[in-house]
């Protein structure tokens, strides 16, 4: 690998340091009472802390030399890649359906029938919880409207997004989803 | 040179995307998640190898940053396409007359049947749980994973998942 240049410029170095520490910010933020149980907001706050820290370090510790757009872009992309990686794990821990079923079996500490597993899901909330949770997100995003117990795709947003989703499945050649 | 390395990383991502589309259609026995993950690492090693062998100094960090940023953006989108319950509900509605259905019917057809059974099948197929006469029981592997996940959730104060 003699052709690769591994030298670290300050924006890249600070991005690596500050980005690696994202789980630490999350651990602290998760202990703040006003944000308790609000996992998405906790992650957003963690991202904010990370970007502010990086910007501050680049601005204050980098001295008077002119900022290089390429170096800044590299630093931002490192922060972005790190955030996406942590977001995958964070999403799995806080929203994972299969993991939720695994943990339901773990907490029960005895064999559960199919019905019991569904009933005890998410500490007794049951499978209907997942429907309510996801549906509130879809309605909030304007993709679906609900009236008298009937759900319908909204023509302006829901239908195009559903078609885009269908096209993505076909493009990727996925046989099974969801 | 930094700009060139950023572009090279983006081209590497293009190669990755093409490889994923082909492999998802050809490797039917592999799980899509494994294909997407393994191909990202394989393509990255190939990109770094080529960059290291062209006889010019190529900045490693910009190359890697642009490749992984774009690749992880795709991985997020792929995760949503492959496993999102919300998107699956949208698709379900798209195929119904009037693009609408009752709350109860979707819950029964998709959440309580299709999606639920698929998740339980995954747990059993991956050796996390066994199906016995009395019900589902965690295997030693499943118990170890659940204990680890539970410990991480406790550390980050995540009380429930789902």
Interface contact B24-A174, CB threshold 8 A: yes
What percent of chain B shows pLDDT beyond 70? 98
> Which chain B residues in 42-81 lie under 8 Å from chain A, judged by CB atoms?
48, 51-62, 65-66, 68-69, 71-73, 75-79, 81
Find out whether B9 and B64 touch, Cβ atoms under 8 Å.
yes
Q: Are residues B37 and B58 in the same domain?
A: yes
| Mean pLDDT computed over B128-150 | 93
Contact residues, chain B, for A131 at CB < 8 Å: 103, 106-107, 111
Please tell me the distance in Å from A136's CA to the nearest CA on chain B. Answer: 10
Q: Rounded to 5 degrees, what are φ and ψ at B101?
A: -160, 165
Contact residues, chain A, for B104 at CB < 8 Å: 149
Q: Are residues B68 and B104 in the same domain?
A: no
Q: Could you give the ipTM of this predicted complex?
A: 0.86
Pick the last residue of a domain from B56, B82, B108. Answer: B82
pLDDT at site A60: 84
Interface contact A70-B6, CB threshold 8 A: yes
List the structure tokens of B29: 């026995």
Residue B162 lies in a domain: no
Pick the last residue of a domain from B33, B65, B82. Answer: B82
| Mean pLDDT computed over A58-79 | 85
A–B interface: beta-carbon pairs under 8 A: 275
Give dist(CA B33, CA B31) in Å, integer.
Answer: 5
Interface contact A102-B62, CB threshold 8 A: no
Optimal mutation site among B18, B69, B145, interface A, most CBs of chain A within 10 A: B69
Residue B160 lies in a domain: no
Which structural domain, as residue segments, surrounds residue B58?
2-82
Interface contact B93-A144, CB threshold 8 A: yes
Interface contact A134-B85, CB threshold 8 A: yes
Give A73's pLDDT tier (boundaries 50, 70, 90). very high
Q: Are residues B78 and B91 in the same domain?
A: no
Q: For residue A31, what is the nearest residue in chain B, using CA coordinates?
A: B157
Pick the last residue of a domain from B33, B51, B82. Answer: B82
Interface contact B100-A146, CB threshold 8 A: no
pLDDT at site B142: 95
Interface contact A4-B75, CB threshold 8 A: no
What percent of chain B shows pLDDT beyond 90? 67
Q: What angle in degrees, to the nearest 10, is found between the helix axes of B60-83 and A158-172?
A: 110
Q: Are residues B6 and B76 in the same domain?
A: yes
**Number of domains forming the structure of chain B:** 2
Please tell me the distance in Å from A161's CA to the nearest CA on chain B. Answer: 8
Interface contact B91-A165, CB threshold 8 A: yes
Find out whether A102 and B149 touch, Cβ atoms under 8 Å.
yes
Closest of A113, A31, A144 to residue B87, by C-alpha: A144
Is the pLDDT score of B49 beyond 80?
A: yes
Task: Tell me what the pLDDT averaged over chain A comes to.
Answer: 89
List the structure tokens of B155: 């550390």
Q: Are residues B77 and B91 in the same domain?
A: no
pLDDT at site A63: 64
Give B118's pLDDT tier (boundaries 50, 70, 90). confident
Q: Are residues B39 and B54 in the same domain?
A: yes
Is the pLDDT score of B42 beyond 80?
A: yes
Give B33's pLDDT tier (boundaries 50, 70, 90). very high
Q: For residue A166, what is the nearest residue in chain B, using CA coordinates?
A: B91
Residues 6+ away with beta carbon under 8 Å from A102 = B123, B128, B129, B138, B142, B145, B146, B149
Q: Are residues B74 and B34 in the same domain?
A: yes
Residue B74 lies in a domain: yes
Q: Are residues B12 and B36 in the same domain?
A: yes
């Amino acid at each position: 690998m003699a052709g690769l240049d591994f030298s670290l410029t300050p924006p890249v170095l600070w991005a690596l340091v500050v980005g690696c520490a994202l789980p630490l910010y999350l651990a602290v933020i998760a202990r703040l009472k006003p944000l308790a149980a609000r996992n998405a907001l906790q992650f957003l706050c963690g991202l904010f802390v990370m970007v502010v820290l990086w910007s501050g370090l680049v601005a204050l510790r980098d001295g008077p030399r002119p900022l290089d757009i390429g170096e800044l872009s590299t630093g931002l992309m490192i922060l972005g890649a790190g955030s996406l990686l942590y977001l995958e794990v964070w999403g799995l821990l806080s929203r994972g359906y299969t993991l939720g079923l695994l943990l339901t079996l773990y907490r029960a500490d005895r064999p559960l029938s199919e019905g019991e597993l569904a009933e005890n899901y998410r500490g007794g909330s049951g499978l209907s919880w997942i429907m309510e949770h996801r549906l509130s997100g879809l309605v909030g995003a304007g993709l679906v409207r609900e009236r008298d117990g009937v759900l319908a795709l909204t023509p302006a947003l829901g239908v195009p997004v559903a078609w885009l989703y269908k096209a993505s499945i076909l493009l990727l050649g996925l046989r099974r989803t969801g | 040179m930094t700009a060139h390395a950023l572009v090279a990383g983006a081209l590497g991502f293009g190669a990755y995307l093409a490889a994923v589309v082909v492999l998802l259609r050809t490797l039917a026995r592999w799980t899509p998640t494994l294909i997407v993950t393994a191909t990202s690492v394989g393509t990255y090693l190939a990109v770094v190898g080529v960059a290291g062998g062209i006889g010019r100094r190529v900045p490693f960090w910009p190359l890697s940053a642009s490749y992984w940023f774009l690749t992880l953006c795709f991985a997020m989108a792929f995760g949503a396409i492959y496993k999102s319950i919300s998107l699956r509900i949208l698709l379900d509605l798209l195929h119904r007359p009037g693009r609408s259905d009752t709350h109860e019917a979707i819950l029964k057809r998709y959440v309580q049947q299709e999606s639920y059974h698929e998740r339980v099948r995954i747990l059993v197929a991956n050796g996390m749980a066994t199906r016995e006469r009395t019900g589902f029981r965690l295997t030693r592997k499943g118990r170890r994973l659940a204990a680890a996940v539970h410990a991480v959730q406790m550390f980050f104060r995540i009380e429930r998942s789902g």
